[in-house]
């Protein structure tokens, strides 16, 4: 087990990072946070990260990026202040592409606690057994299951989406890794071919797995925030376009600050 200490001047709030809605496989025990990604595990206490693969998690936590610069650029913009007050230590994780595709297909029209449960069952049932936990399943293992299996873990009407998308990825019809070098809109076009992936899910994958800043996932919380700001609703497409322009060059990160801020406020009510 190796460790890495995040320097004091680097924004890093492990609770905010893990609970801001970008990742679903994490636990909290006392002052200890545990996060799983692919077949890997890290334990975080304060600013210290412990893992057998510390290099993976240095990239995972996006520790090479200058978030102070991003925060300074966003601070004065609308809706950001509230999120920053409690979530200035948020970082956009560099997560596994397949894991994000599957996780955010599950996320549609769903509650975060239930999303976590379904993903946990998915790993327990299909993932390789590691030391005290289970890896995220591979595309080929997921492609071999039945629709009934995905229903049995509680995926509901998303069951067939999970199976069909896993098949398309396992078959190489969509090659997630090879998309990395393409322009954001071209990646989106490919992702949208997967069943269960619409604009919002595609944006989440682009942001959390491909680390594309020029995206802005528009979900129910963002719509609430937008309504509060403007006093009227607008089609998702229009909100997305407006927000990308407003928060450029960091709309993706801005979205997380806003999401965290408004969701935290509503929870308190």
Partner DNA sequence: AGCCAGGCCCATT
Partner DNA sequence: AATGGGCATGGC
Question: Does residue 108 belong to the site contacting DNA (CB under 7 A)?
Answer: yes
Find the binder of DNA among 140, 146, 237, 248 (CB under 7 A): 237
Size of the site for DNA (CB under 7 A): 37
What's the rounded Cα separation, in Å, for the pair 268 and 222?
Answer: 17
Find the binder of DNA among 197, 206, 209, 243 (CB under 7 A): 197
Question: Does residue 113 belong to the site contacting DNA (CB under 7 A)?
Answer: yes
Between 135 and 202, name the residue whose CB sits nearer to DNA.
202
Write down the least CB distance from residue 193 to DNA, Å: 9
Find the binder of DNA among 69, 85, 114, 230 (CB under 7 A): 114
Question: Does residue 125 belong to the site contacting DNA (CB under 7 A)?
Answer: no
Find the binder of DNA among 44, 176, 201, 244 (CB under 7 A): 201
Instruction: Note if 200 is an active site residue.
Output: yes
10 Å Cβ neighbour count for 166? 26
Question: Does residue 217 belong to the site contacting DNA (CB under 7 A)?
Answer: yes
Scan residues 11-70 and list those touching DNA (CB under 7 A): 20-22
User: Among all residues, which ones are annotated catalytic?
Assistant: 200
Binding footprint of DNA on the chain (CB under 7 A): 20-22, 107-114, 117, 151, 154, 156-157, 161, 194-202, 204, 217, 219-222, 235, 237, 255-256, 259
């Amino acid at each position: 087990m190796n460790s890495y200490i995040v320097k004091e001047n680097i924004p890093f709030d492990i609770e905010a990072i893990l609970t801001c809605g970008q990742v679903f496989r994490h636990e909290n025990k006392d002052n200890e946070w545990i996060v799983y990604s692919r077949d890997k595990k890290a334990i975080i206490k304060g600013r210290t990260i412990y893992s057998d693969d510390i290099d993976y998690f240095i990239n995972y936590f996006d520790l090479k990026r200058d978030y102070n610069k991003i925060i300074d650029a966003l601070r004065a913009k609308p809706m950001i202040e509230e999120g920053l007050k409690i979530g200035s230590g948020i970082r956009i994780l560099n997560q596994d592409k397949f894991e994000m595709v599957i996780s955010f297909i599950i996320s549609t029209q769903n509650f975060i606690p239930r999303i976590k449960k379904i993903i946990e069952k998915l790993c327990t049932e299909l993932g390789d057994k590691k030391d005290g936990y289970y890896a995220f399943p591979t595309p080929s293992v997921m492609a071999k299951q039945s629709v009934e299996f995905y229903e049995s873990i509680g995926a509901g009407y998303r069951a067939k989406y999970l199976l069909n998308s896993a098949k398309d990825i396992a078959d190489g019809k969509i090659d997630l890794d090879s998309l990395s070098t393409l322009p954001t809109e071209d990646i989106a076009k490919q992702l949208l071919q997967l069943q269960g992936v619409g604009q919002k899910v595609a944006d989440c994958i682009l942001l959390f797995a491909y680390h594309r800043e020029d995206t802005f996932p528009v979900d129910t919380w963002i719509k609430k925030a937008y309504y509060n700001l403007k006093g009227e609703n607008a089609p998702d497409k229009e909100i997305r376009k407006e927000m990308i322009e407003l928060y450029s060059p960091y709309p993706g990160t801005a979205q997380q600050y806003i999401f965290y801020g408004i969701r935290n406020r509503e929870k308190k009510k």
